[in-house]
Amino acid sequence: MFAPPPTFPLRLLDSHWLTPGVRHFVFERSDGSPLVFLPGQFLRVQVAGTDTPVFRSYSIANPNDLGRSDAQRIELVISMVEGGLGSARMTALGHGEEIPVTAPNGRFCLLPDDAARRYLLLGTGTGVAPYRGMLPQLEAAAANGVSTVLLLGARTPEDQLFADEFRAAAARIPNFELRFCHSRRLPEDPGPQDVNAYVQDALAGFEIDPEGDLAYLCGNPNMVDAGFERLKAAGLHLKRIRREKYVTPSLPGAVTPAKPASL
Ligand SMILES: Cc1cc2nc3c(=O)[nH]c(=O)nc-3n(C[C@H](O)[C@H](O)[C@H](O)COP(=O)(O)OP(=O)(O)OC[C@H]3O[C@@H](n4cnc5c(N)ncnc54)[C@H](O)[C@@H]3O)c2cc1C
């Protein structure tokens, strides 16, 4: 018989709309223990009000201290999906209410043994959340000569999440190239970081180094698939491509999530 995974409670402290379709949630772990995780990992939230336990995965969006984080405060960014069970229940969550979540999971992380000369990071929509947490690691990597290309995709400039934080990081970190890929509309006064393209198409502006590049693809499953195919065609071995598709595993088009790497 299916045994639900162990959970611990998060209490909602604050939430607000970042854009008309994306809500930012700030929780605290309410059992008093710290939450130990690596930037890039996700939590599985147990959806309230269902007869049998139903879970939805959300990447931890905390802006972190270097590498590993022991946090009491947990941030998530959740895109509202029409008819979506999890997103509807999350929107209805009141401040002070608690939700059960599982331990952090996933391998969509920058790891100490990675032999990267350059990180190629592609994200769309809320799929930029893992990269927010990785910024301090990327800064440390830059000090060791590792460069970063960060391609962030959204429909319009207003839909780009945490744009000021990523812009500040690109200004501060050496050899850090940032592109905001606006698929529908450029800003009125576009800068050198703004392009009118899908993220996977913006990749064409960068020559792939099969020996030195390590690529990460996160968010919309179509983007992840298209980006993966392009990187493979450009000679990047699939061992050097990490993927996080934002889909509900039981629904059509979903893939089995990576084997959990709980900390
Ligand atoms: C490892 C991992 C991390 C994730 N991290 C995040 C995150 O940080 N933020 C976040 O918002 N989501 C994230 N997701 C996606 C999230 O877990 C849900 O799949 C998504 O929020 C939809 O769940 P739902 O219950 O609202 O909709 P569901 O009840 O699962 O689906 C309802 C209907 O909407 C369709 N649908 C589902 N997703 C979408 C979509 N994105 N666009 C359009 N239609 C859709 C379904 O096919 C279905 O017909 C992540 C997924 C994984 C696997």
In the structure encoding, which two tokens stand for residue 58, read together? 């959300």
Q: Rounded to an integer, what is the distance from CA 117 to the centroid of its chain?
A: 21
178: its two tokens: 């940032």
Q: Tell me, yes or no, whether 207 and 132 share the same domain.
A: yes
Percentage of residues of the chain with pLDDT beyond 70: 91
Does the pLDDT of residue 258 top 60, yes or no? no
Distance 134 CA to ligand 1 centre (A): 22
**Domain shared by 61 and 137, yes or no:** no
> What is the model's pLDDT at position 197?
96
Q: Is residue 254 part of a domain?
A: no
Average pLDDT score, the chain: 90
Distance 254 CA to ligand 1 centre (A): 10
Q: Find the CATH number of the domain harbouring 88.
A: 2.40.30.10
Distance, CA of 14 to CA of 113 (rounded, Å): 37
Q: Are residues 129 and 216 in the same domain?
A: yes
Q: Which atom of ligand 1 has the smallest separation from the CA of 90?
A: 26
Q: Which residues line ligand 1 (CB under 6 A)?
A: 42, 56-59, 77-79, 81, 83-87, 106, 126, 129, 244, 246-248, 251, 257
User: Considering 69, 101, 133, which residue would you say is the last residue of a domain?
Assistant: 101
Whether the per-residue pLDDT at 254 is higher than 80: the answer is no
Residue 35 host element (H or E):
strand 35-37
Total domains, the chain = 2
Answer yes or no: is pLDDT of 14 > 50: yes
The pLDDT of residue 261 is 33
Residues 67 and 143 in one domain: no
CATH of the domain at 183: 3.40.50.80
pLDDT at position 73 is 87
Q: According to the model, what pLDDT value does residue 35 have?
A: 85
∠104-105-110 over CA atoms, to 5°?
100
Domain membership of residue 66 (yes or no) is yes
Place of tokens 């996933």: 106
Q: What is the pLDDT, as a whole number, of residue 178?
A: 98
Q: Which of 101, 126, 148 is the last residue of a domain?
A: 101
Q: Helix, strand, or coil here: 201? A: helix
Is residue 124 domain-shared with residue 97, that is, in the same domain? no
Q: Could you tell me the pLDDT band of residue 25, with boundaries at 50, 70 and 90?
A: very high
pLDDT at 67: 43
CA of 73 to the centre of ligand 1 (A): 23
- Domain housing 158: 118-245
